């Protein structure tokens, strides 16, 4: 078991975050509160012996000293993982736990709580800012980090309190729901209609018909939309080098660029230059 102890966080004044590709079979246990965000992954966790399914956009709030491991392991699976000690948050963690008693009670009984990010990826953006704080250590980064944890925790607890859950795509047909789940899981590679139909044990023609009826778009249009949205989100919110972005997709670089430009009007490089959050912040700073 890989155990992170208090002296690890003492080096970072009680706060730390990383973007991790977990080791296969590794079991972790931390002596502090852990927040895990699944940005682009669908996976399963084993938490204290219980298997829990996690989809992209899910956030796990994990109590202290709870063994957990990543059941699935593939090349595109990665997580934002934030560690902190409650005492560095000026009493906010305790006040939030007291205010949102339903979350506190669930955490006490299960040792973890899972919520799903909103459509604007609000909580993910907090994680990205915290990663920047640790990586670049700008002036005042520690206070910025703590503020972002508090904001993230507040929104996590509000989401939990509202009863919002990860319902996935709103469709009444189980085949379409399964097809969308398959597409999301395999979005980085080549996806053929025949692969999906074989997975669902239905014909291609039936798949195409019910998918269009339920979603208003063809399967191929949905795949392309999802790929472009995934790339846009990475370009807008991360500093990931473009060559690594292209490596993530088992697709031709020229094909991805052409697809992206057709749907956005920008090349992948130009889109990052214009819409990355740092570029936008810099432009606002000039006003």
What is 201-253 written as a DSSP string? TS-HHHHHHHHHHHHSS-HHHHHHHHHHHHHHHHHHH----HHHHHHHSSS-H
Instruction: Strands of 117-161 (E only): list them.
Output: none
pLDDT at 69 over 80: yes
Least confident of 6-10, 244-248, 278-282: 278-282
Closest CA to 60 of 91, 8, 22, 3: 22
- Mean of the per-residue pLDDT values for the chain? 84
DSSP tag of 22: P
Query: So what's the pLDDT on residue 169?
Result: 43
pLDDT (average), residues 252-259: 93
Decide: 59 and 18 in contact? Cβ < 8 Å.
Answer: no
Express each pLDDT in 197-238 by its tens digit. 999 999 999 999 999 988 888 999 999 998 998 898 889 888
d(CA 32, CA 190): 40
Decide: 12 and 52 in contact? Cβ < 8 Å.
Answer: no
Query: So what's the pLDDT on residue 77?
Result: 67
Q: Which CATH class is domain 174-278?
A: mainly alpha
pLDDT at 57 over 90: no
Residue 287 — pLDDT band, cuts 50, 70, 90? very low
Q: Is the pTM of this model over 0.75?
A: no
pLDDT at 62 over 90: yes
Q: Which residue has the higher pLDDT, 5 or 261?
A: 261
Express each pLDDT in 93-144 by its tens digit. 999 999 999 899 999 988 999 998 887 889 998 998 898 888 888 888 889 9
Query: So what's the pLDDT on residue 34?
Result: 92
Pinpoint the residues of the chain covered by CATH 2.60.120.280. Answer: 2-162
CATH of domain 2-162: 2.60.120.280
Closest CA to 115 of 149, 83, 155: 155
pLDDT at 160 over 60: yes
Query: So what's the pLDDT on residue 276?
Result: 87
d(CA 226, CA 222): 6
Decide: 228 and 115 in contact? Cβ < 8 Å.
Answer: no
Pinpoint the residues of the chain covered by CATH 1.10.10.60. Answer: 174-278
């Amino acid at each position: 078991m890989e155990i992170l102890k208090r002296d690890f966080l003492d080096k970072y004044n009680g706060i730390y975050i990383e973007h991790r590709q977990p080791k296969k079979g590794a079991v972790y246990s931390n002596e502090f509160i852990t927040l895990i965000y699944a940005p682009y992954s669908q996976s399963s966790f084993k938490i204290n012996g219980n298997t829990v399914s996690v989809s992209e956009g899910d956030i796990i709030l994990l109590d202290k000293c709870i063994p957990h491991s990543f059941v699935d392991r593939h090349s595109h699976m990665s997580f934002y993982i934030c560690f902190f000690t409650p005492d560095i948050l000026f009493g906010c963690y305790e006040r939030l736990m007291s205010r949102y008693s339903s979350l506190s009670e669930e955490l006490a009984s299960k040792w973890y709580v899972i919520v799903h990010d909103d459509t604007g990826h609000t909580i993910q953006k907090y994680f990205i800012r915290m990663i920047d704080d640790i990586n670049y250590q700008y002036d005042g980064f520690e206070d910025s980090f703590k503020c972002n944890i508090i904001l993230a925790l507040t929104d996590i607890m509000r989401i939990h309190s509202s009863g919002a859950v990860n319902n996935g795509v709103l469709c009444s047909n189980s085949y379409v729901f399964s097809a969308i789940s398959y597409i999301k899981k395999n979005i980085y590679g080549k996806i053929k209609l025949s692969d999906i139909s074989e997975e669902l044990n239905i014909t291609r023609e039936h798949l195409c018909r019910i998918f269009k009826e339920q979603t208003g778009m063809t399967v191929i249009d949905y795949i392309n939309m999802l790929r472009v949205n995934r790339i846009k989100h990475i370009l807008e919110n991360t500093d990931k080098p473009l060559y690594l972005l292209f490596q993530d997709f088992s697709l031709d670089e020229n094909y991805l660029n052409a697809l992206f430009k057709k749907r956005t009007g920008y090349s992948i490089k130009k889109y990052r230059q214009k819409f990355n959050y740092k570029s936008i912040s810099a432009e606002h700073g000039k006003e």
